[in-house]
Amino acid sequence: MKVSASARRLDADRIRALAEAFGAEPSRWPEADRAAALAWLEAHPGEGAVLLAEARALDGLLEAWRLPQPAEPLRQRVLGPAPVVVRLARRRSFLMTLGGGAGLAAACLAGVMAAPILLATPAPTPSPAPPAVAATPVGADELLTEALAGWEAPVGEGEADAAS
């Protein structure tokens, strides 16, 4: 059998690390190392058998170990309030949904009530257009004379006597 370059890199320490980390069953080992590890085990059957036997013993201990069940008072203390919390959360969720719907309904009602008021208000009338200005340039004196043509200066009683 031809041993690949990756198989030559593996040594007993790496095989031991794989067996301790992933167990004695090579199918659990990382795919990148599996072929090289199997080649090493085939090339070193005595040393490999010892490493795998140690890993199988540890696997057996781990599989046999069971977590003890908690005492009933502790279980009741932890799990007892759980259904109440779920019920309260469901009730709160229902009320929030109902509250959101009531807010939407109130907004729609306000719009319906405000629409006639807004639609009954008359639209603003446009202001009259300013008088057209002559297209030909006019001097400042002529413009002033034209603007003041119909205007008479107010004369007070005291001023009329002084003027005569």
DSSP-assigned letters across all residues of 3-50 = PPHHHHH--HHHHHHHHHHH-S-GGGS-HHHHHHHHHHHHH-HHHHHH
How far is residue 13's CA from residue 15's CA, in Å, rounded to a whole number?
5
Residue 18 has a pLDDT of 92
How far is residue 115's CA from residue 102's CA, in Å, rounded to a whole number?
20
Q: Which of 14, 26, 25, 12 has the alpha carbon at shortest distance from 63?
A: 25
Phi, psi for residue 125 in degrees, rounded to 5: -85, 140
Rounded average pLDDT per 10-residue block, the chain, 164 residues: 52 89 91 90 91 91 86 84 64 62 74 77 69 60 76 65 53
How far is residue 66's CA from residue 48's CA, in Å, rounded to a whole number?
29
Residue 2 has a pLDDT of 47
Q: What is the pTM of this model?
A: 0.38
- Please give the structure tokens belonging to residue 21: 């980390």
